[in-house]
């Protein structure tokens, strides 16, 4: 028979021998890790007050540093300048151009003991409207601390990488148009470069792309200005030649509006084209005349065959009695029947002479 002390010793030996023995897990968390109990007895707010919307957590995304200058105030005129050209976030708007314009406006005002970046952070929300303002309002509170952070987030939002790729492809595939002068081509090429300032193309790549995109006449003109091969010049010299040629061509290639003449031939246009233009003008004029409203026909006024007055012969005061009027009517009917039977619809008998033959003396 084993005693209680022997059984305790045997259990202790088994615990020492068995290495997989694990002490029981304590399910009770320490006091320091437990959340304090919610005490609702002391809360004296009503149900309506507890259901009210919170009034905290509505801070702006832009954090403006504290301004310690005395009598600092943003003038109303400065706000008006900023709001005159707001950014709406449309696809065709250029965020880089908006930043350049905003910097130009804010640089005109200087405040003593106030950093210019603080003024920009305060004014920038007033320059946004529409989708751009909604974007800024959706940014997390106090997430924009500096002016550089604001510019970076603004550009990346409204100038995505896909737009950068498209503009880079346009710069690479640039080609002078058929009806485009040298100045117009150079100006359009620079517009593409300004629209994507982070294109990454070096000056050498830009000049080479523009030279290859020109037509043969403009390439020959650049070679002549360079005194040989244009590509053998240094990039700075090539840029100077292009700028000089662009200014000269812009002054010479201004369009001259020719005065419209009555002749069918137009200077600078082939005879076939001029003839075709005249035919089109004639067709349009004919169509216009056909579509015009017809001119109203003036009503025929009555004239007496007896005295020439502005009344019918039946109402003539010079006649006396119905016999004369009946004779006139009978005679007119006979003349009309005779002309119809003979087929002479254009013949008209001298009515006045026949009237005189009925017994009235002729008028001398």
The 10s digit of each residue's pLDDT in 136-171 is: 999 998 899 999 999 999 999 998 888 888 889 999
Q: Per-residue confidence at 108, pLDDT binned at 50, 70, 90?
A: confident
Confidence of residue 75 (pLDDT cuts 50, 70, 90): confident
Dist. CA 168–CA 177, nearest whole Å: 19
Cα(306)–Cα(284) distance, rounded to whole angstroms? 51
Is residue 22 predicted with pLDDT exceeding 50?
A: no
Predicted pLDDT of residue 17: 47
Residue with tokens 């001298």: 350
pLDDT of residue 289: 66
Distance CA 74, CA 125 (A): 14
| Model confidence band, residue 328 (pLDDT cutoffs 50, 70, 90) | low
Q: Which two tokens stand for residue 70?
A: 């005395």
Which of 70-74, 132-136, 182-186, 235-239 bottoms out in mean pLDDT, i.e. has the lowest? 70-74
What is the C-alpha to C-alpha distance for residues 272 and 280, in angstroms, rounded to an integer? 12
pLDDT at 38 over 60: no
| Statement: residue 327 has pLDDT above 60 | no
pLDDT at 259: 39
pLDDT digits over 342-355, tens only?
555 555 545 444 44
Cα distance between residue 197 and residue 98, in whole Å: 13
How high is the pLDDT of residue 95?
92
- Does the reported pTM lie above 0.75? no
């Amino acid at each position: 028979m084993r005693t209680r002390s022997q059984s305790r010793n045997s259990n202790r030996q088994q615990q020492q021998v068995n290495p997989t023995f694990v002490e029981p897990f304590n399910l009770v968390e320490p006091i320091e890790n437990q959340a304090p109990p919610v005490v609702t007895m002391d809360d004296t707010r009503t149900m309506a007050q507890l259901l009210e919307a919170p009034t905290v957590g509505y801070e702006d995304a832009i954090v403006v540093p504290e301004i310690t200058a005395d009598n600092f105030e943003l003038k109303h005129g400065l706000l008006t300048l900023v709001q005159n050209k707001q950014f709406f976030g449309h696809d065709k708007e250029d965020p880089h151009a908006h930043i350049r314009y905003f910097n130009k406006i804010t640089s005109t005002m200087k405040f003593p003991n106030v950093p210019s970046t603080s003024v920009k952070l305060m004014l920038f929300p007033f320059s946004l409207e529409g989708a751009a303002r909604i974007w800024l309002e959706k940014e997390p509170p106090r997430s924009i601390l500096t002016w550089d952070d604001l510019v970076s987030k603004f550009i990346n939002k409204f100038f995505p990488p896909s737009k950068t790729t498209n503009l880079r492809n346009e710069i690479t595939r640039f080609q002078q148009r058929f009806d485009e002068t040298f100045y117009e081509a150079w100006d359009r090429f620079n517009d593409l470069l300004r629209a994507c300032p982070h294109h990454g193309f070096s000056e050498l790549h830009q000049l080479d792309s523009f030279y290859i995109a020109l037509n043969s006449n403009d390439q020959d003109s650049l070679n002549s200005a360079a005194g040989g091969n244009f590509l053998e010049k240094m990039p700075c010299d090539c840029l100077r030649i292009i700028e000089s040629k662009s200014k000269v061509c812009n002054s010479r290639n201004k369009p001259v509006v020719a005065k419209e003449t009555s002749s069918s031939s137009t200077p600078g246009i082939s005879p076939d084209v001029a003839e075709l233009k005249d035919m089109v003008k004639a067709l349009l004029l004919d169509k216009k005349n056909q579509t015009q409203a017809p001119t109203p026909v003036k009503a025929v006024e009555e004239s007496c065959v007896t005295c020439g007055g502005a009344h019918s012969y039946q109402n003539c005061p010079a006649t006396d009695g119905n016999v004369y009027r009946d004779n006139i009517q009978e005679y007119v009917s006979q003349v009309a029947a005779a002309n119809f039977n003979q087929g002479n619809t254009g013949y008209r008998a001298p009515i006045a002479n026949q009237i005189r033959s009925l017994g009235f003396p002729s008028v001398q």
